[in-house]
């Protein structure tokens, strides 16, 4: 429109826009317009149903609050001792984890994978921040395509199930191409792996489950020096952390979830862990043998050249076999 229009103070449209607050206006009779300073909106997105969400800075005291309505758009989908996962609408997930300065954030690990292994499917980060007052790290991620393997498994043929196991084993092999001289995270911090701590080791707090970077020599008695190379490994590739999707009649791994605590671990541990960790089992409600994925992934990893030391590990760990 031209910029030299003459204002008409008493015209019929004088009250079309009403100011309700310094940064709030009513347009017409039913459309609310709000202005936000650039720093206020840190993240905004549109859900697949067309509704919009945004994150804004908030520094006011919380005087009253309630838990989210379980029938509403924000729902807690998983909760653990050290973390929780919430679904926001249909396009985003919000994850909170216990945090301390000496451990890696999941966001940093995901960014590390994106930089070093761009073909490995990881969540897209929308927002990440550290709540130092509450000792939490918070991570907002976009929903990944596909379905969680735990729920998709029974709809797959045996050939497709085997193919998924081989695809995951191939991803593990790709990740293991990167090594370090110590048991550390992506940027050299401590790694969480309770199955590399002997049974009976005191763990009074969650953070005592994190390994000392110099502990690597302790594991040579399990698998020998050659297999004690510290390679990058996602040690929690259970069926709830793998997304699969059918693309042109082929089932592909469309996403790998939960990169918290991931880092550089002994090579001999890779094919060994699926044999004893319950995290590789299917959850309750899944028909058939709950250990199917454990066995199939273990065999695919062995087929990719990773050695199996389950009995040696069990003796070292103090587990009865």
Window from 57-66, 81-90, 153-162 with minimum mean pLDDT: 57-66
Strand blocks (E) in 59-121: 74-79, 83-88, 92-98
Contact 126, 141 (CB under 8 A): yes
Contact 201, 193 (CB under 8 A): no
Nearest Cα to Cα of residue 95 among 46, 48, 136 = 136
Q: What is the pLDDT of residues 251-281, one digit of tens each?
A: 999 999 999 989 999 999 999 999 999 999 9
User: What is the rounded CA–CA span in Å between residue 303 and residue 283?
Assistant: 26
Return the structure tokens found at 104: 């890696």
How high is the mean pLDDT of the chain?
88
Closest CA to 195 of 38, 47, 318, 54: 318
Supply the angle between the helices 158-175 and 292-303 in degrees, to the nearest 10. 50
What's phi and psi for 209, nearest 5 deg? -85, 0
pLDDT class for 3, splitting at 50, 70, 90? Answer: very low
Q: For the sheet with 125-131, list strands across it.
A: 74-79, 83-88, 92-98, 136-142, 125-131
Q: Where are the domains of the chain?
A: 43-56+68-142, 147-317
* Partners of 59 in the β-ladder: none
Predicted pLDDT of residue 38: 65
* Per-residue model confidence as pLDDT tens digits over 133-179: 778 899 999 999 999 999 999 999 999 999 999 999 999 999 999 99
- Evaluated on CA atoms 235, 236, 238, 242, the torsion sign reads negative
Strand order, beta sheet including 17-21? 17-21, 24-27, 31-34
Q: How far is CA 238 from CA 78, 113, 130, 216, 276, in A?
A: 15, 19, 27, 25, 12
User: In this structure, what token pair is assigned to residue 128?
Assistant: 């990440």
Residues 6+ apart with CB under 8 A from 280: 237, 238, 239, 273, 274, 291, 293, 294, 297
* Cα angle: 172, vertex 176, 177; to 5 degrees: 125
Torsion 34-35-37-41 (CA) sign: positive
**Same fold: 43-56+68-142 with 147-317:** no
Q: Which residue has the higher pLDDT, 132 or 281?
A: 281
Of 288 and 154, the one with more pLDDT: 154
Strand, helix or coil at 307?
Answer: coil
Q: What architecture does CATH give domain 43-56+68-142?
A: 2-Layer Sandwich (3.30)
- Nearest one of 147, 142, 128, 144 to 88, comparing CA atoms: 142
- The predicted structure's pLDDT at residue 13: 57
* Greatest Cα-to-Cα distance within the chain, rounded to the nearest angstrom: 90
Q: Is the pLDDT of residue 87 over 90?
A: yes
The CATH number given to 147-317 is 3.90.1200
Helix, strand and coil in the chain, % to nearest 5:
25, 25, 45
């Amino acid at each position: 429109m031209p910029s030299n229009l003459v204002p008409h103070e008493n015209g019929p449209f004088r009250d079309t826009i009403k100011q309700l607050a310094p940064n709030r206006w009513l347009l017409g009779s039913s459309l609310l317009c709000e202005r936000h300073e650039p720093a206020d909106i840190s993240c905004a997105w549109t859900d697949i149903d067309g509704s919009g969400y945004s994150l804004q800075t908030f520094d006011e005291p919380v005087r009253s609050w309630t838990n989210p309505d379980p029938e509403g758009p924000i729902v807690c989908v998983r909760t653990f001792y050290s973390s929780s996962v919430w679904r926001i609408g249909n396009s985003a997930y919000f994850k909170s984890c216990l945090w301390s300065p000496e451990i890696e954030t999941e966001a940093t690990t995901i960014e590390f994978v994106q930089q070093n292994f761009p073909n490995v499917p990881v969540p897209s980060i929308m927002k990440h921040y550290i709540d130092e007052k509450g000792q939490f790290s918070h991570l907002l991620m976009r929903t990944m395509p596909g379905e969680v393997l735990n729920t998709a498994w029974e709809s797959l043929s045996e050939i497709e199930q085997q193919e998924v196991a081989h695809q995951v084993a191939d991803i593990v092999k790709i990740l293991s191409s990167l090594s370090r001289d110590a048991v550390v995270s992506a940027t050299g911090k401590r790694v969480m792996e309770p199955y590399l701590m002997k049974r009976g080791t005191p763990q009074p707090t969650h953070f005592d489950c994190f390994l000392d970077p110099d502990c690597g020599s302790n594991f040579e008695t399990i698998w020998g020096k050659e297999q004690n190379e510290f390679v990058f490994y996602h040690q929690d590739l259970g069926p709830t952390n793998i997304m699969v999707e059918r693309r042109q009649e082929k089932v592909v791994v469309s996403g790998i979830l939960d990169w918290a605590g991931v880092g550089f671990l002994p090579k001999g541990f890779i094919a060994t862990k699926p044999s004893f960790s319950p995290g590789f089992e299917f959850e309750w409600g899944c028909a058939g043998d709950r250990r199917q994925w454990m066995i199939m992934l273990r065999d695919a990893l062995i087929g990719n050249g990773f050695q199996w030391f389950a009995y040696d590990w069990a003796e070292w760990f103090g587990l009865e076999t």
